[in-house]
Amino acid sequence: MDSSRIQINEMQDFIQEGLKEILGCAVLNEIAARVQTSETRTGLPAFKNILTTQFGELVTRGILIRAGRAGFYYWMRKSGEFLGWKGADFRLLPTRSKVKRAMSDLFNFMNTEMLINAEIHELPKTWHVLVAGLTETNSVLECNFFSGMVQELLSWAGGGKYFGSRETYCQSVRGVCCEFELDKIPLD
């Protein structure tokens, strides 16, 4: 087995690749070894605990957001064709329709494959996304990585423009679910 390919309790390949791109193989393998020997949590939440100890909360958030952005492309390479994203009918959609469909496809995938519950509500100037399951002990994903994936999806589907996104409430603090607010209008 390639030393850069680690298996952490069913962690998805695209998560591993996103982390590897940002942290490098050596750091990723070191943290993976620490997760396997010392953590009661699994998956990305366990990585977050160790990264926070090593780098602090703000740096860890940045690392995981950037890893989520990188991880989106690895996920898209595996799932894009299956979802019809490479076909002309998707690529020629108006930007807003393409963004909305891409978000819907991503959330449907996560709901079925990653055991989280993501739903989107459309407001006049934003999309309000509710996600349950990101902070569970056995969660595959984590809030900041999820946020990075969604940021990159919005940018990719939106023609390279930046759409603001922020986590407004975290399930670990507030209770029922994590809440994200995504701007419908990109920054110029």
Tell me the pLDDT tens digit for each residue of 130-177. Answer: 998 887 767 778 899 999 999 999 999 999 999 999 999 988 886 788
- pLDDT band at 41; cut points 50, 70, 90: low
Task: Give the separation between CA 175 and CA 109, rounded to whole angstroms.
Answer: 24
**Taking residues 19-47, what's their average pLDDT?**
81
Provide the 3-class DSSP secondary structure of residue 42.
coil
Residue 37 confidence (pLDDT): 75
User: Per-residue pLDDT for 6 more than 70?
Assistant: no
Cα-atom radius of gyration of the chain, to the nearest Å?
Answer: 16
Side-chain half-sphere exposure of 22, counting CA atoms within 13 A: 22
Residue with tokens 């809440």: 179
DSSP 71-139: HHHHHHHHHTTTTTTTSHHHHTS-HHHHHHHHHHHHHHHHHHHS--EEEEEE-SSEEEEEEESSSSTT-
- Structural domains of the chain, ranges and CATH numbers in brackets: 13-183 (3.90.1520.10)
Q: How many C-beta atoms lie closer than 10 Å to residue 7's C-beta?
A: 11
Q: Token pair of 71, please?
A: 């991880």
The model's pTM is: 0.86
Amino acid code (one letter) for 50: I
Side-chain half-sphere exposure of 49, counting CA atoms within 13 A: 15
pLDDT in tens, 76-124: 988 888 888 999 999 999 988 999 999 999 998 888 877 688 999 999 9
